[in-house]
């Protein structure tokens, strides 16, 4: 019988935490595989997917490599703990190049010791694979024979690395400020990787920004949801805020004030949806609004924690990750973002808080925040495969 073995890290798991972690992981695996037929079993420190459609094996694995909390996956064959049965399966294995066999014998009633059994299995494989050689130190392929106490042996020839991290749902909820750019989806990815449930928020400036720009954000959220699971995506119109700042304030302070108003609206939404932190894609020094002084003046309007997982990353490193997680292509589609509308020529890079506050006093901030919040709409996003 074919099965898929799922391994998860056990390092940080103690006492009751372990149960909490496992339950969240189990729930996430099930919802990721929603629509597939399968059974899920728990065997010490691992999950086992059985009774699935073998034609769907690749698709199932593709989905599971994105589930945070899983460390690696191996498609495997399972037989009873009988030496002849195991060796018969080894006969079917085809390898080329350097390989080794690693036997783990959790069941001590199995009559042959691990090392000896690995050698026996190696011989059987060599007999059938003329282009294979044993290399214990630098093998290209490791064949794992896992002889378990439950009476079954799992034989696998492939270990596929997964996303790692902690299961989503184990570290509270974060409100991700999702622009259409490269950075914010990556920021959301990292916080979800630490177990945060994500609620995304996008500010648009319709009609200055287009319907296509909105679609782009929806696409980004869908790509991200392969990792985060189903999420909510909210939209708030920022048009009136921008027009008001444009009319009333020194244009060089436009971005600083915009970002402070974004934070106030974000705090409001966070309270309403139970988010305990705001997440942004900011990276120190990347643009005028991301200097230490700008970040300080943005943070000053809220007492909520603001998580900026990319703060110390180079742009090129962020781009690499965006490519790896599959958001890059969408992020670089050329639609206007609300921040590029009314962009000042010389944004201040070191806004002074007293100056910012003076400029802001020309606005009815509470009304702007309330009116913007009234435009809130929220949609459900789930992954598309």
Determine which residue in the list 146, 337, 359, 360 makes contact with ligand ATP, applying CB under 6 A: 337
Give me the 221-260 binding string for ligand ATP, x by CB under 6 A, dash otherwise: ----------------------------------------
Size of the site for ligand ATP (CB under 6 A): 20
The interface partner of residue 146, options being Mg ion, ligand ATP, none and the CB cut-off 5 to 8 Å by kind, is: none
Q: Cβ 182 to Mg ion, closest distance in Å?
A: 8
Q: Cβ 286 to ligand ATP, closest distance in Å?
A: 5
The residues with which 157 forms a beta bridge, in sequence order, are: none
Eight-class DSSP state of 92: T
Q: For residues 151-190, which are near ligand ATP according to CB under 6 A?
A: 177-179, 181-184
Which of 196, 200, 199, 195 lies closest to 164, judged by CA? 195
Closer residue to ligand ATP (CB): 188 or 383 = 188
Q: For residues 290-329, which are near ligand ATP according to CB under 6 A?
A: 290
15 in the Ramachandran plot: left (φ > 0), alpha (ψ -120 to 50) or beta? Answer: left
Spatial neighbors of 222 by CB under 8 A, at least 6 apart, are: 381, 382, 383, 384
Determine which residue in the list 49, 338, 356, 363 makes contact with ligand ATP, applying CB under 6 A: 338
Closer residue to ligand ATP (CB): 32 or 179 = 179
Which of 309, 343, 89, 76 lies closest to 196, judged by CA? 309
Instruction: Name the residue whose CB lies closest to ligand ATP.
Output: 181
Q: What are the backbone dihedrals phi and psi of residue 216, each rounded to the nearest 5 degrees, phi first?
A: -60, -40
Spatial neighbors of 209 by CB under 8 A, at least 6 apart, are: 335, 336, 337, 338, 341
Determine which residue in the list 63, 193, 199, 202 makes contact with ligand ATP, applying CB under 6 A: 202
Closer residue to Mg ion (CB): 146 or 337 = 337
Eight-class DSSP state of 337: P
The residues with which 176 forms a beta bridge, in sequence order, are: 200, 279
Q: Cβ 295 to ligand ATP, closest distance in Å?
A: 10
Closer residue to Mg ion (CB): 73 or 221 = 221
Sign of CA pseudo-dihedral 343, 239, 206, 233: positive
The interface partner of residue 93, options being Mg ion, ligand ATP, none and the CB cut-off 5 to 8 Å by kind, is: none
Task: Find where tokens 């294995």 sit.
Answer: 93
Residue 80 three-state SS? strand
Instruction: Name the residue whose CB lies closest to Mg ion.
Output: 181
Closer residue to ligand ATP (CB): 70 or 255 = 255
The residues with which 17 forms a beta bridge, in sequence order, are: none
Among the residue ranges 111-119, 134-142, 160-168, 181-189, the one whose residues contact Mg ion (CB under 5 A): 181-189
Closer residue to ligand ATP (CB): 148 or 259 = 259
Q: Is residue 196 near ligand ATP by the rule CB under 6 A?
A: no
Which of 247, 282, 263, 245 lies closest to 203, judged by CA? 263
Determine which residue in the list 181, 185, 229, 383 makes contact with Mg ion, applying CB under 5 A: 181
Q: Cβ 365 to ligand ATP, closest distance in Å?
A: 18
CB-CB contact of 181 with 283 (8 Å):
no
First to last CA, the chain: 27
Give me the 265-294 binding string for ligand ATP, x by CB under 6 A, dash otherwise: ---------------xxx---xx-xx----
CB-CB contact of 195 with 68 (8 Å):
yes
Q: Cβ 359 to ligand ATP, closest distance in Å?
A: 18
Spatial neighbors of 233 by CB under 8 A, at least 6 apart, are: 178, 199, 200, 201, 202, 217, 218, 221, 378, 379, 380, 381
Binding stretches for Mg ion (CB under 5 A): 179, 181, 337
Binding stretches for ligand ATP (CB under 6 A): 177-179, 181-184, 201-203, 280-282, 286-287, 289-290, 337-339
């Amino acid at each position: 019988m074919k099965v898929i073995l799922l391994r998860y890290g056990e390092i940080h798991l103690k006492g009751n935490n372990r149960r909490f972690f496992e339950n969240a992981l189990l729930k996430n695996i099930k919802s990721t595989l929603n629509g597939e037929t399968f059974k899920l079993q728990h065997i010490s420190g691992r999950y086992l997917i059985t009774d699935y459609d073998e034609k769907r094996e690749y698709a199932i694995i593709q989905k599971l490599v994105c589930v945070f909390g899983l460390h690696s996956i191996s498609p495997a064959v399972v037989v009873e703990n009988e030496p002849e049965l195991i060796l018969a399966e080894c006969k079917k294995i085809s390898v080329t190049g350097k390989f080794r066999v690693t036997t783990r014998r959790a069941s001590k009633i199995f009559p042959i010791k691990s090392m000896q059994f690995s050698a026996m299995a190696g011989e059987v494989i060599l007999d059938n694979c003329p282009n294979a050689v044993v290399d214990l130190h630098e093998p290209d392929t490791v064949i794992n024979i896992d002889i378990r106490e439950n009476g079954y042996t799992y034989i696998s020839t492939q270990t596929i690395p997964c996303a790692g991290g902690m299961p989503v749902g184990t570290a509270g909820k974060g409100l991700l400020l999702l622009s259409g750019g490269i950075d914010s989806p990556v920021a959301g990815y990292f916080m979800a990787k630490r177990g945060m449930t994500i609620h995304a928020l996008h500010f648009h400036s319709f009609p200055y920004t287009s319907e296509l720009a909105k679609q782009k954000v929806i696409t980004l959220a869908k790509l991200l949801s392969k990792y985060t699971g189903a999420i909510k995506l909210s939209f708030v119109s920022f048009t009136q805020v921008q027009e008001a700042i444009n009319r009333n304030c020194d244009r060089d302070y436009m971005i600083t004030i915009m970002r402070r108003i974004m934070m106030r609206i974000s705090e409001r939404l966070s309270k309403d949806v139970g988010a305990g932190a705001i997440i942004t894609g900011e990276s120190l020094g990347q643009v005028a609004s991301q200097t230490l002084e700008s970040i300080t003046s943005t943070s000053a309007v809220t007492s909520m924690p603001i998580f900026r997982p990319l703060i110390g990353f180079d742009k090129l490193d962020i781009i690499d990750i965006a490519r790896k997680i599959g958001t890059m292509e969408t992020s670089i589609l050329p639609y206007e973002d609300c921040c590029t509308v009314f962009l000042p020529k010389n944004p201040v890079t070191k806004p002074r808080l007293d100056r910012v506050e003076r400029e802001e006093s020309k606005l009815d901030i509470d009304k702007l925040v309330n009116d913007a919040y009234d435009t809130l709409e929220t949609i459900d996003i789930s992954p598309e495969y």
